[in-house]
Chains A and B, each alone.
Chain A
Amino acid sequence: MIRFESVGVTYAGAPAPTLRDVELAIPDGELALVIGQTGAGKSTLLRAINGLVPHFTGGTLSGRVTVDGRDTRTHPPRELADVVGYVGQDPLAGFVTDTVEEELAYAMESLGVDPAVMRRRVEETLDSLGLTALRHRPLADLSSGQQQRVAIGSVLTAGPRILVLDEPTSALDPPAAEEVLAALTRLVHDLGMTVVLAEHRLERVVHYADRILSITPAGRVVDDTPASTMASAAVAPPVVELGRLARWTPLPLSVRDARRRAGPLKERLARLSPPTAGPGASLPGRKSGPLVRPVQIVTARGLVARYGDVVALRGVDLDVAPGEVIALMGRNGAGKSTLLAHLVGLLAPAAGRIEVAGHQPHRLAASDLMRHAGLVPQSPADLFCADTIDDEIGHDARGRAARATLERLSPGIDVSLHPRDLSEGQRLALALALVLSAEPPVLLLDEPTRGLDYPAKARLVAVLRERAAAGAAVVVATHDVELAADAATRTVVMADGDIVADGPTGEVVTASPAFAPQVAKILHPLPWLTVAQVRATLDASPA
């Protein structure tokens, strides 16, 4: 179905090719997963399939890519639209019309499909993706998961045999990601479609994959089965890490497989002492018992936020002590970003009181704010205003600190680049370095794991823990349960503008199947959350 014959891609002005000597043949009806580190060329590989590389992006493509017998050199993306459906990273940016039904019909209109056929296919697609109740809704009002499903539907209606998706679940909360992946597997199983997708969150997709295309840092592509790739891959989900630790063969890829092999490990762990309640257990204040309440650095009482008629926060109470790392979880639109915006004084509360490091944040002058609270926003690029990374950071004492942090989080960035030329993960590293350079006692991050691979995530966690150990309070709004299990001492779950759960991470995340990390699901009901905890326990008491 898809053939790459000694394909290389070099972008204009790049010192080295992004992809080289790629030989691939993906047969009909397979689900292929593309993995690789941040900025390795995953998007380039995906875009080469429907001709966006090089027709749209520029650059030089050597070798030959054929899709269903059509050569992409002679067929631009529009001439392949009836064979390949391509869904980009941000579904909202790709919408042309304004309601669900029109968006689904758009590709067919461009292809000149007969009106009767169009109507039937739109109805079928509405059904197969569960969008029927949304058909007349404006696209901008949909949740992220719904938007992603509409984006998939809008390319499906053209009747392609191949579906190409670039990070379809990165921005989604766990239940919405499940919805999208369920829809995708149905397409593969029922309709025999070929699906090629890139994803950093391997724990969500790896067990659906028939083959894995891993891109090496040098730009070569290794095509292998999921089991053998995962046995040695540098990027691996927790279930695989646990499998390697326990020497399970064959290596389990899904939680279900792992659970069936976990019996002996669970028996052994049950005899050992459980991990202390999360990484924050040794912090001062936590240890000193329930009677001595530590000094709070953030206090919010009865916080209410409104956007017009919509109430985003309904009387939220929150205390944060120095040294805590809090994971703020909840589905898209639950009020997490609004809460962070209040903590850093971007919004003034409609009612209620808020105090951060002894100040009301919305009353602080912009120049004072950085020393009290820092926020890394959801789109980190908003923070950048200079033409090069070098100018962005500056050369004073704070600039030197930022440079050191950037080098730690994302080694080897060329500082003469424009900040917007960075990949999503590198942008986050730069934004975090800039915010940290002011050493704020309250550090807030909004959805920081988008576009981060596992090693980059581990570096992020290390930096956050270090800040917390130095006495800062850290609040991370995230959908990433593995990050929460790894880094957070406390987890706060929000729903519909309320805090619905607040407690030690171990208790909160294991209470809900949707928010439980993979290790907790495998070892249920034992209290271990991460592979690191299991490893530490086993190392402490060798069998």
Chain B
Amino acid sequence: MSRPTRLAHPTRLAQPRPLHPGAWWAWSLALAAAATRTTNPVLLALLIVVAAFVVASRRSPQGGRAFGFFVRLGVFVVALRLVFEIVFGDTLPGDVLVRLPSVPLPAFLAGLRIGGPITAQALLSAIYGGLQLAALLICVGAANSLASPRRLLRSLPGALYEVGVAVTVSMSFAPQLVRAASRVRRARRLRGRSSSGLRGWVGVALPVLQDALEKSIDLAAAMDSRGFGRRGPTSPARRRLTTAAVVVGLLAVSAAVYGLLDAGSPTIAGLPLLVAGSVLAGGAALVGRRAVVRSKYRPDVWRGPEWLAVAAGVAALAGVLAGGWLEPGSLRTSAYPIVAPALPWPAALGLLAALLPAWLTPRPPLLTTAEAAPPPAATPAEFVGAAR
């Protein structure tokens, strides 16, 4: 029996174990929520650095490439915002850097422009906006890399189990579809047909969909044969009621969170909705659990470090909110006129607190050495002797 190889570091923390995926996702989403409240480039940069540091020290062995992908996506978003600003940007007065040749547009497109003067202010505000979006994406990337979304789905309450399976299956479906499409495109070439143009596209899409349907039916048969959907002793009506209650409760929670985060809607309306939604969803999930015969293999545990990670994320969000309250305007750095960004101290402290999980959570277990090694690819000696 191979045990995970332990690190030699003496550490006062518990032995290496994966942190509960829910804790990492709560931490990341709290950081993301903080990012939505500010366009202050210093705070956004600090937030990105914090996320990257925690990922670097606690990423799960399975979720290696997700973070890099989201970082590249973030860079792309900032670049795209800049390009759009340069080509189609608005025409507020400012310090003109360059004057591009502009295309005259007819009168009914007033308010739109192509080319023309590029101002430092316009570029800066595009960078601020792009940076905020990039920070959000990087938070999602951090969540993916710290705990894979599949593991998060495994921790869903029993009443939502079927929804979780549907999402898991569809997540593996997309890469399969891509592989099938490239296979069919090759096969079309073998029949002497090209895959470009509308007809080519239809010719690829149909076999891919047929293939996908066949595969889904195989999967459904396999799941059914392995006991998927066995029912406990509750009536179907009651089961539907609990599922509906969970879904309605979660929708209420989502609406409430939107109300809390969106600066435009009244904050007061959010809080009661949040409480009511949580109670409804939680209660229904508890009742629903009795209807399910399923059990969970090696369930993720929720202990002190999990609470700490969540608290660290919430501290970042609270710090940013408090910064905005104590130093009004410090969260929105203006580009008209260009001013040096402020550094509200509660926000900076809160974001630094979000670094704590990098030290105060258990390390993720490493893969065993046998798994890290590539599969054996030895050449049987007999073949060599047989050559010619």
Q: What is the minimal beta-carbon distance from B86 to any residue of chain A, in angstroms?
A: 34
| With known contacts A501-B386, A502-B387, A512-B383, A93–B219 Cβ distance under 8 A | yes
Contact A110 B190, beta carbon cutoff 8 Å: no
| With known contacts A369-B192, A507-B386, A94–B229 Cβ distance under 8 A | no
Contact code string B210-223 (vs A, CB < 8 Å = 1, else 0): 11001100111111
Of A32-40, A115-123, A194-202, A276-284, the one with at least 4 CB within 8 A of chain B? A115-123
Chain B residue nearest to A385 (CB atoms) is B203
Contact B222 A385, beta carbon cutoff 8 Å: no
Contact A134 B383, beta carbon cutoff 8 Å: no
Other-chain contact of A379, B165, B183, B368 (Cβ < 8 Å): B183
Other-chain contact of A346, B189, B211, B371 (Cβ < 8 Å): B189
Contact B188 A501, beta carbon cutoff 8 Å: no
Residues of B within 8 A of A514 (CB): 380
Residues of A within 8 A of B292 (CB): 112
Check if A513 is an interface residue, CB within 8 A of chain B: yes
Residues of A within 8 A of B1 (CB): 123, 127, 132
Interface centre among A81, A341, A368, A375 (most CB of B within 10 A): A81
Contact A382 B226, beta carbon cutoff 8 Å: no
Contact code string A212-247 (vs B, CB < 8 Å = 1, else 0): 000000000000000000000000000000000000
- B residues 179-198 near A (Cβ < 8 Å) are 183-184, 186-194
Check if A168 is an interface residue, CB within 8 A of chain B: no
Contact A385 B206, beta carbon cutoff 8 Å: yes
Q: How far is the CA of A347 from the CA of B76 in the complex (A)?
A: 30
Check if B113 is an interface residue, CB within 8 A of chain A: no
Q: How far is the CA of A195 from the CA of B32 in the complex (A)?
A: 54
Contact size class for A? 35 or more
Contact code string B159-179 (vs A, CB < 8 Å = 1, else 0): 000000100110010000000
Contact code string A72-93 (vs B, CB < 8 Å = 1, else 0): 0000111111101110101001
Contact B386 A108, beta carbon cutoff 8 Å: no
Check if B272 is an interface residue, CB within 8 A of chain A: no
Contact B294 A81, beta carbon cutoff 8 Å: no
Other-chain contact of B227, A78, A102, A118, A434 (Cβ < 8 Å): A78
Contact code string B371-386 (vs A, CB < 8 Å = 1, else 0): 1000101011011111
Contact B383 A118, beta carbon cutoff 8 Å: no
Contact code string A354-376 (vs B, CB < 8 Å = 1, else 0): 00000000000011111000110
Contact A52 B386, beta carbon cutoff 8 Å: no
| With known contacts A379-B183, A383-B187, A385-B188, A112–B168 Cβ distance under 8 A | no
Contact code string A41-84 (vs B, CB < 8 Å = 1, else 0): 00000000010100110000000000000000000111111101
Q: What is the minimal beta-carbon distance from A497 to any residue of chain B, in angstroms?
A: 9
Check if A543 is an interface residue, CB within 8 A of chain B: no
Q: How far is the CA of A93 from the CA of B385 in the complex (A)?
A: 39
Check if B9 is an interface residue, CB within 8 A of chain A: no
Residues of B within 8 A of A374 (CB): 190
| With known contacts A94-B222, A96-B223, A133–B295 Cβ distance under 8 A | no
Contact A502 B388, beta carbon cutoff 8 Å: yes
Of B103-111, B124-132, B296-304, the one with at least 4 CB within 8 A of chain A? B296-304
Other-chain contact of A109, B194, B294, B367, B386 (Cβ < 8 Å): B294
Check if B37 is an interface residue, CB within 8 A of chain A: no
Chain A residue nearest to B229 (CB atoms) is A78
Check if B293 is an interface residue, CB within 8 A of chain A: yes
Contact B384 A82, beta carbon cutoff 8 Å: no
Q: What is the minimal beta-carbon distance from A82 to any residue of chain B, in angstroms?
A: 7
Q: What is the minimal beta-carbon distance from A68 to any residue of chain B, in angstroms?
A: 15
Contact A503 B387, beta carbon cutoff 8 Å: yes
Contact A511 B226, beta carbon cutoff 8 Å: no
Check if B332 is an interface residue, CB within 8 A of chain A: no
Contact B295 A108, beta carbon cutoff 8 Å: yes
Contact B380 A119, beta carbon cutoff 8 Å: no
Other-chain contact of A78, B189, B228, B386 (Cβ < 8 Å): B228
Check if A114 is an interface residue, CB within 8 A of chain B: yes
Contact A420 B210, beta carbon cutoff 8 Å: yes
Interface residues of B, dominant DSSP: helix
Q: What is the minimal beta-carbon distance from A372 to any residue of chain B, in angstroms?
A: 11
Contact code string B258-302 (vs A, CB < 8 Å = 1, else 0): 000000000000000000000000000000000011111111000
Contact B222 A96, beta carbon cutoff 8 Å: yes
Check if B2 is an interface residue, CB within 8 A of chain A: yes
| With known contacts A88-B221, A514-B380, A133–B2 Cβ distance under 8 A | yes
Other-chain contact of B230, A81, A377, A498 (Cβ < 8 Å): A81
Residues of B within 8 A of A106 (CB): 226
Contact A78 B191, beta carbon cutoff 8 Å: no
Q: What is the minimal beta-carbon distance from A362 to any residue of chain B, in angstroms?
A: 10
Residues of B within 8 A of A158 (CB): 226-227
Residues of B within 8 A of A122 (CB): 297
Contact A155 B225, beta carbon cutoff 8 Å: yes
Q: How far is the CA of A77 from the CA of B228 in the complex (A)?
A: 9
Q: How far is the CA of A98 from the CA of B165 in the complex (A)?
A: 12
Contact A369 B227, beta carbon cutoff 8 Å: no
Residues of B within 8 A of A346 (CB): 186, 189-190
Q: How far is the CA of A109 from the CA of B294 in the complex (A)?
A: 5
| With known contacts A78-B227, A90-B218, A96-B219, A136–B371 Cβ distance under 8 A | yes
Q: How far is the CA of A123 from the CA of B229 in the complex (A)?
A: 25
Interface centre among B221, B224, B226 (most CB of A within 10 A): B226
- B residues 344-388 near A (Cβ < 8 Å) are 367-368, 370-371, 375, 377, 379-380, 382-388
Residues of B within 8 A of A375 (CB): 190
Q: What is the minimal beta-carbon distance from B327 to any residue of chain A, in angstroms?
A: 47
Contact B297 A382, beta carbon cutoff 8 Å: no
Q: How far is the CA of A157 from the CA of B282 in the complex (A)?
A: 32
Q: What is the minimal beta-carbon distance from A510 to any residue of chain B, in angstroms?
A: 8
Q: What is the minimal beta-carbon distance from A214 to any residue of chain B, in angstroms?
A: 25
Check if B68 is an interface residue, CB within 8 A of chain A: no
Interface centre among A132, A133, A154, A513 (most CB of B within 10 A): A133
Q: How far is the CA of A123 from the CA of B1 in the complex (A)?
A: 8
Residues of B within 8 A of A101 (CB): 298
Contact A495 B383, beta carbon cutoff 8 Å: yes
Contact A511 B386, beta carbon cutoff 8 Å: yes
| With known contacts A375-B190, A382-B207, A511-B383, A56–B294 Cβ distance under 8 A | no
Check if A137 is an interface residue, CB within 8 A of chain B: yes
| With known contacts A155-B225, A366-B189, A434-B191, A513–B382 Cβ distance under 8 A | yes
Residues of A within 8 A of B192 (CB): 366-370, 438
Q: What is the minimal beta-carbon distance from B151 to any residue of chain A, in angstroms?
A: 9
Q: How far is the CA of A525 from the CA of B340 in the complex (A)?
A: 88
Check if A463 is an interface residue, CB within 8 A of chain B: no
Residues of B within 8 A of A500 (CB): 379-380, 383-384, 387
Q: What is the minimal beta-carbon distance from B126 to any residue of chain A, in angstroms?
A: 34
Q: How far is the CA of A352 from the CA of B218 in the complex (A)?
A: 41
- B residues 219-254 near A (Cβ < 8 Å) are 219-230
Interface centre among A101, A109, A508, A511 (most CB of B within 10 A): A109
Other-chain contact of A76, B183, B224, B299, B367 (Cβ < 8 Å): B224
Check if A435 is an interface residue, CB within 8 A of chain B: yes
Check if A384 is an interface residue, CB within 8 A of chain B: yes
Contact A118 B295, beta carbon cutoff 8 Å: yes
Other-chain contact of B297, A55, A84, A119, A143 (Cβ < 8 Å): A119
Check if A493 is an interface residue, CB within 8 A of chain B: yes
Contact A344 B190, beta carbon cutoff 8 Å: yes
Q: What is the minimal beta-carbon distance from A328 to any residue of chain B, in angstroms?
A: 13
Chain B residue nearest to A510 (CB atoms) is B386
Which A residues are closer than 8 A to B by beta carbons?
50, 52, 55-56, 76-82, 84-86, 88, 90, 93-99, 101-102, 105-115, 118-119, 122-123, 127, 132-138, 143, 154-155, 158, 341, 344-346, 366-370, 374-375, 377, 379, 381-385, 420, 434-435, 438, 493, 495-496, 498, 500-503, 507-508, 511-514
Could you list some 13 contacts between A and B, CB below 8 A? Answer: A77-B221, A78-B228, A94-B223, A101-B298, A105-B298, A106-B226, A377-B186, A383-B187, A384-B207, A420-B210, A493-B383, A500-B379, A508-B383
Q: In the complex, given contacts A86-B221, A512-B382, what are 4 additional A-B residue pairs having Cβ atoms less than 8 angstroms apart?
A: A96-B223, A96-B226, A344-B190, A385-B188
